[in-house]
Structure 1
Amino acid sequence: MSSTYTHQLYTCVNDLPQKWDHVSESCIFLQSNYLGVLEKSSPANMQCTFVGVFEKDELIATALFQEIDLALLTTFGDRDHFLLTRLRNFLFRQYASKLLLVGNNMLSGQNAYACLPGTNEEKVLETIKNICDTWPNKPHLTIFKDFTQDQTKPFNTAKFSSDYPFSSQPNMIFEIKSNWKREDDYVLDLTKKYRDQFKRCRKKGSSLRNQELSLEEIIQNEEILYSLYLHVAINSPFNTFILPFNHFSIFKKQLGSDFILRGYYENEKLVGFTSVIRHGKELETYFLGYDVSIQREKMLYLNMLYDLIDCGIVQGFERIIFGRTALEIKSSVGAEAVPLKGIMRHSFGVIHTNLSWIFPLLEPKAKWIQRHPFKD
């Protein structure tokens, strides 16, 4: 007879079991240093809970829950016609504003849970689903997010059979070839059209200077960094949160050298930044910001993407996780789209049974063209 799994909920990193990071070894975003970022610097409309799953007294799995209240935002973005935007915002506020996410809405990919090797994942997920079903602050929507096709296999149980499966925008993944040792090797593998794009971009951005910022430099420049981030965030197609003012300095304090924030300067004025996280053999892009007044002239965003590729090559990473925004321009530098899937349940039965046609209205499909910049 199999033993029963139990669980414990935590909101403070200091209360986590001693073996938490060992169980979460496969995912830096479930380890205590990163969870400390969420504890100290989550968006105002987000509450994070850390979940431990136990077999008898042994911790065998960890998970992240995020409660998000979209009603606290002034806008969800303006990607549709004015009337469609107003209708979508109304529907969100009334019927989809209170979310319970199993996963991390600030990142792309499977950062929802981690298990010890050999653990029964189906049983872990059923335990997590039971927690969701009895969650005290009843959400409109309960969502398990960002799984590849293979990662959805443990969900094929009776416990999830009536939940609605959905596809979200893909994760853009850049694979670094083993024979690339420097940026020139990457450029040589591009077709003429995209080599010309690279050269034109680098020429336009030749006056830009970039450097990695230390914790002290991040703190000194926090106000301008935040204003650069905020401009990009509030003009994005869809918002579910806004980072707090001190988020980047807290991130640097918590992760140290695993968090890299690089500032871009024009005539010694800070005009943009990128941030990335070292995650094993992967380089995970995080938030960025830029001065819109020079973005087009200097091709700043595209220069940032090329610099991230250069960083990944030189530092020996195997891939770069570019996330799910600006899909077409990321594909033009060589990133490939990896489909992501999830499952959801609405608390209103009538809405839940009609999610198959309601969800596409609230989450319209992005229109973009996958570019193919490499030879052959």
Structure 2
Amino acid sequence: MDTHSFEIFSSTAQLPETWDKVAHNNVFLQTHYLKVLEDSAPTNMQCFYIGIFEKSELIGVALAQYLNLNKLESFGERDQCLKTSIRNFIFKNFASHVLFLGNNMITGQNGYEFTKAIGFKDIADLLLECANAITNYFKDQKIAIHIVSFKDFYQHCAEELKKHQFSKIYEFNTQPNMIFELPKKWQTNEDYIAAFSKKYRDQYKRSHKKSAEIVTKELSLEEITRQEERIYELYHHVAKNAPFNTFFLAKNHFSTFKKQCGERFKLVGYFLEEKLVGFHTLLLNGNVLETYFLGYDDQVQKEKMLYLNMLYNMTEFGIENRFEKIIFGRTALEIKSSIGAEPIVMSGFIYHTNKWVNKLMPKIFPQLEPDLVWQQRHPFK
């Protein structure tokens, strides 16, 4: 840490000129995406942008997010049971002020990026120092941060961090990240279909037949703006029925995203009798295709197998545009595995700022996680 220092910024206007050069390999740390967060973050979220310096040279960038769960309309309405009620009570009363080092809105290791090789000891020290600095910032405002979480590390990085200061912090694994590594030999969607076993090729044909009346169309900024209320209605329906939420997007989020990111952000609408009944979004992140939020009319989804068709369409886009892999994120693990995605375990680290509560974290945290039972599918020959 002797040669490294950091500075925390609360606005993208304050960022150093070389920020995007450092963030070159990850679109989720580049200024055009950070401006999306700044202009259309969830109402209960505040973002911080961290510059890491070697002497006076910017060599690293990172993201932190503060969430006030007291402002949340719902933690998720799908699972109504005693365990969920207890979980919600605990979050409201003992964990309502949460600081994430990383990006809580997406799945994957997107919390930091460096242009120079830096040891994991220094990374661990820097992340903890940043967490302490932001915690003290809120303390000065009479806000006590309850929980600090370091989000989404692939196993190699988690193991390395645990060799240093992170060995003292509780490690957790939530639902895996569903990732589809696309074989280079697949040149077209027909190659993908041909790789299925008969059972899953039949599933593909059946789902497409069910959705024959659905018209799909990529929407322009003007069309997204015009459909903003409907897009949000469809998104909100899916979000509030998720097993657990820590935020809801702002209504202008998708139009802001398109405005800032242009062709790197895709919103595809699904129309039935000229009415928008669903949408999915994608972000082009170098050679990686990142799936983002989606929404649908529940009745149409059931009748037309809309969600499954969205997964197939995202996969087709990935194959035909020569992406190396598609990040499908967490949730709906079984159906995502049925189209070819595979589970990749990711770790997070979490501590409570109350030392007595923190000692109980290994017992408390597993009780807060929604129960997860699923069967991985293997769709290929």
Shorter-normalised TM range: over 0.9
Q: Does 1:261 align with 2:261?
A: no
CA 1:21/1:54 → structure 2, altered by over 3 Å: closer, same or farther? same
Alignment match, 2:67 = 68
1:249 matched to which residue of 2? 255
The separation in 2 between residues aligned to 1:257 and 1:14, in whole angstroms, is 23
Aligned partner of 2:41 in structure 1 is 42
Q: State the AA in 2 paired with 1:283.
A: L
Distance in 2 separating the partners of 1:80 and 1:290: 19
2:250 aligned partner, one-letter code: P
- Structure 1 counterpart SS, 2:345: strand
- How far does residue 194 in structure 1 lie from its aligned partner after superposition? 0.5
Cα deviation code 1:218-245 (max 9, x no counterpart)? 1111111111111111111111100011
The superposition leaves residues 11-38 of structure 1 with CA deviations (integer Å, 9 ceiling, x where unpaired) of 2112111111111112110111110101
| CA shift digits 1:329-357 (9 cap, x unpaired) | 00011110000101111111121111111
Aligned to 2:353: 347
- The Cα of 1:182 is off from its aligned counterpart by 1.3
Match of 2:7 in 1: 8
Give the aligned CA root-mean-square deviation in angstroms. 1.3
Asked whether the equivalents of residues 64 and 113 of structure 1 are also in contact (C-alpha less than 8 Å), the reply is yes
For residue 253 of structure 1, give the secondary structure of its aligned residue in structure 2: helix
Q: 1:319 aligns with which of 325, 330, 333?
A: 325
Q: Which letter does structure 2 place at the counterpart of 1:88?
A: R
Q: In 2, are the aligned partners of 1:11 and 1:39 still within 8 Å (CA)?
A: no
User: What does residue 121 of structure 2 align with?
Assistant: 122
The aligned residue for residue 148 of structure 2 is 142
Q: What TM-score do you get using the length of structure 2 for normalisation? A: 0.95
Q: Which amino acid aligns with 1:110?
A: Q
Q: Report if the CA contact (8 A) 1:12-1:39 is conserved.
A: yes
- Residue 85 of structure 1: CA displacement? 2.0
SS in 2 for 1:187: helix
Is 2:124–2:164's contact at 8 Å kept on the other side of the alignment? no
Match of 2:202?
Answer: 196
**Runs ≥4 in structure 1, deviation > 6 angstroms?**
none
- CA distance in structure 2 between the aligned counterparts of 1:127 and 1:293, rounded to whole angstroms: 48
> In 2, distance between residues paired with 1:118 and 1:310?
36
Cα shift at 1:133: 2.3
Does the Cα contact within 8 Å between 2:77 and 2:240 map onto a contact in 1? no
Would you say the 8 A contact 2:99–2:149 is kept in 1? yes
**TM-aligned CA deviation for residue 157 of structure 1:** 4.1
Amino acid at match of 2:267: L
Alignment correspondent of 2:106: 107
Contact 1:141 1:344 survives alignment (8 Å)? yes
**Contact 2:243-2:370 at 8 Å conserved across structures:** no
Counterpart Cα distance in 2 of 1:364 and 1:237? 7
Report the Cα offset of residue 128 of structure 1: 2.3
Shift of 1:139: 1.4
Matches of 1:262 and 1:43, distance apart in 2? 22
The amino acid of 1:125's aligned partner reads A
Question: Is the contact made by 1:23 and 1:62 (CA closer than 8 Å) also made in structure 2?
Answer: yes
The reply on whether 1:223 has 2:222 as its aligned counterpart is no
Instruction: Assess if the C-alpha contact under 8 Å between 2:52 and 2:60 holds in 1.
Output: yes
- Per-residue CA deviations over 1:169-203 (Å, capped at 9, x if unaligned) read 10000111111111111111111110110010000
Structure 2 letter corresponding to 1:68: L
Per the TM alignment, residue 52 of structure 1 is displaced from its structure 2 partner at its CA by 0.6
Unaligned 5+ residue runs, structure 1?
none
CA distance in 2, matches of 1:218, 1:80: 32
Aligned to 2:295: 289
Q: Aligned partner of 1:364: which letter?
A: P
CA distance in 2, matches of 1:364, 1:269: 35
Q: In the alignment, which residue of structure 2 is the partner of 1:335?
A: 341
Following superposition, the deviation at residue 272 of structure 1 comes to: 0.5
Q: Residue 197 of structure 2 contacts residue 380 of structure 2 at CA under 8 Å; is this kept in 1?
A: yes
Q: Which residue of 1 aligns with 2:193?
A: 187
The match for 2:17 is 18
Q: Is the 8 A contact 1:3 1:55 kept in 2?
A: no
- The partner residue of 1:304 within 310, 319, 323 is 310
TM-score scaled by length of structure 1 = 0.97
Q: Aligned-pair distance for 1:216?
A: 0.7
* Larger deviation, residues 352-361 vs 42-51: 352-361
Q: What residue in structure 2 maps to residue 169 of structure 1?
A: 175
Aligned length: 374
* Inter-partner Cα distance in structure 2 for 1:250 and 1:87: 36
The Cα shift of 1:117 comes to: 2.7
Q: How far did 1:154 drift?
A: 3.8
Once the two structures are superposed, residues 46-102 of structure 1 have per-residue CA deviations (whole angstroms, 9 ceiling, x without a partner) of 000000111210111111000011121132124544322221111111112211101
What fraction of aligned residue pairs are identical, expressed as a percent? 48
Question: Secondary structure, in 3 states, of the residue corresponding to 2:236?
Answer: helix
Amino acid at match of 2:47: C
Secondary structure of the corresponding residue to residue 176 of structure 2? strand
CA distance in 2, matches of 1:287, 1:142: 25
Question: SS where residue 373 of structure 2 aligns?
Answer: coil
